[in-house]
Structure formats: C-alpha cells, structure tokens
Amino acid sequence: MKKNKLSIATALIASTIAFAPAGLAFADSSTTATTGGTVTFQSGDLTLSSTPSAFDFGTKTVVNSSTSYDSTEDKSGDNIAVDDLRGTGNGWNLQASLTEFSNGNTGQNLTGATISFDQTTTNQYSSALTNGSGSVSSTGTSTTILSADSNQGMGNSNDSLSNIKLNVPASTAIYAKGYSATMTWTLGNTPTTSAPDVN
C-alpha cells in the first residue's frame, strides 16, 4: 500500500514537469534587448531671409575730389541672412549688382561710384563661409558677396555689414541734386569659384 502511494506521487510530479509552460521549464538567460529607430527628413528651401533695408548717405556738399561718404546711420545691424534648409550640402552663392546713381537727368549719373562695406560672417554650425568682394560697382555687373562650398553653409548663415561707404571718383562731376540707385541681391543654389577669402 505504501509502495502504491509513492508511485502515484512520483507520477504526479513527472506530469507537472511535462506540462509546465516552456518559459518556466526553460528560462531565457538573456538580459539585453535592442529597439530600432528611424527618421526621414524632407528637403526644405534655400532662402535669402534678410538684406539691408536701405543705404542712406545723407546730404553732402559738392566737392571736386575723390570722396568716400559714410552712411548716416549705424549700419552695424544691417545683416544679410541665408537659410539653407535643403539638406543637400550643395552649397550656395550670394551676388549683388548696383545700378548707377541717377538724379533723373541724362548724362548726370555718378559714373564709377561704388558701395563698399566690411563683412563679419557666421554660420550656426560653425562651417566655413567664403567672403567675396566687399565693394559693388555701379555698372550693373553681378559681384559675389558671400558663398558656401559643398557641405558648408547649411542652416542659418549671417553676414553683418559695417563701415558702409559710397565712393565717388574725382573724375565724376557731381550736381547739386538728389541721387538714387538700386542694389539687387541674388542667391544662387551652387557655390562660385570667384570668392577669394575664407573665414
């Protein structure tokens, strides 16, 4: 009788082991796991988000010599800003052209006049920017002002202009009238090779 009870108990234990959940019977010894993450970015725009509002050189007295006229305001806050959110790293270039200063009368333009300025450039990712010319002639010819090579100039780039001057050569007759001109800024989507100085 005692032997039969022992046999029944042994059979019950064996049955419990045989039907136990796999996770309990064969526990996984791993203590680490990984989870993947993905993200996709869409291309944004290349934009010229800021340019100087105006170049005002005030009222001056007629002279017969080569003269540079300072702007009448503190132009240290006049900024050029480029936002490159394309995410391509293709680089870009900024050019400027200037019409002749005219008083409205034929033959009385300030021929040979230029606008010059100093540049202080920065990029939010501290990438290199290339300064072009700090002087734009009033011939209507496009001049490279700032550019970024491939994989440079992404995000926001800022060019702070200061020491802005109107330069009139001695060979140009000046009439006692008001003159005006227009500077046009053009942002291109590739670098140029004409900008000499690297910041």
Q: pLDDT tens for residues 153-183?
A: 999 999 999 999 999 999 999 999 999 999 9
Flag whether 93 is in a domain.
yes
Local structure of 69: helix, strand or coil:
strand
Total tally of structural domains belonging to the chain: 1
Could you tell me what percent of the chain has a pLDDT over 70? 79
Contact (CB, 8 A) for 148 and 130? yes
Pairing state of beta strands 155-168 and 46-50?
unpaired
Interacting residues of 1 by C-beta distance below 8 A, sequence separation 6+: none
Q: Please give the average per-residue pLDDT across 123-139, as a whole number.
A: 96
Q: How far separated are the first and last CA of the chain, in Å rounded?
A: 100
Flag whether 13 is in a domain.
no
Flag whether 94 is in a domain.
yes
Which of the four pLDDT bands, split at 50, 70 and 90, describes residue 95?
Answer: very high
Q: Full-prediction pTM beyond 0.85?
A: no
Flag whether 198 is in a domain.
no
Beta bridge partner(s), residue 48: 82
Q: How many residues in the chain?
A: 199
Flag whether 96 is in a domain.
yes
Contact (CB, 8 A) for 8 and 45? no
Residue 128 belongs to domain spanning: 46-58+65-191
* Residue 72: predicted pLDDT: 81
| Residue carrying the six token digits 């010894």 | 29
Local structure of 24: helix, strand or coil:
helix
154: number of Cβ within 10 Å: 21
Flag whether 168 is in a domain.
yes
Q: Which two tokens stand for residue 62?
A: 């007629």
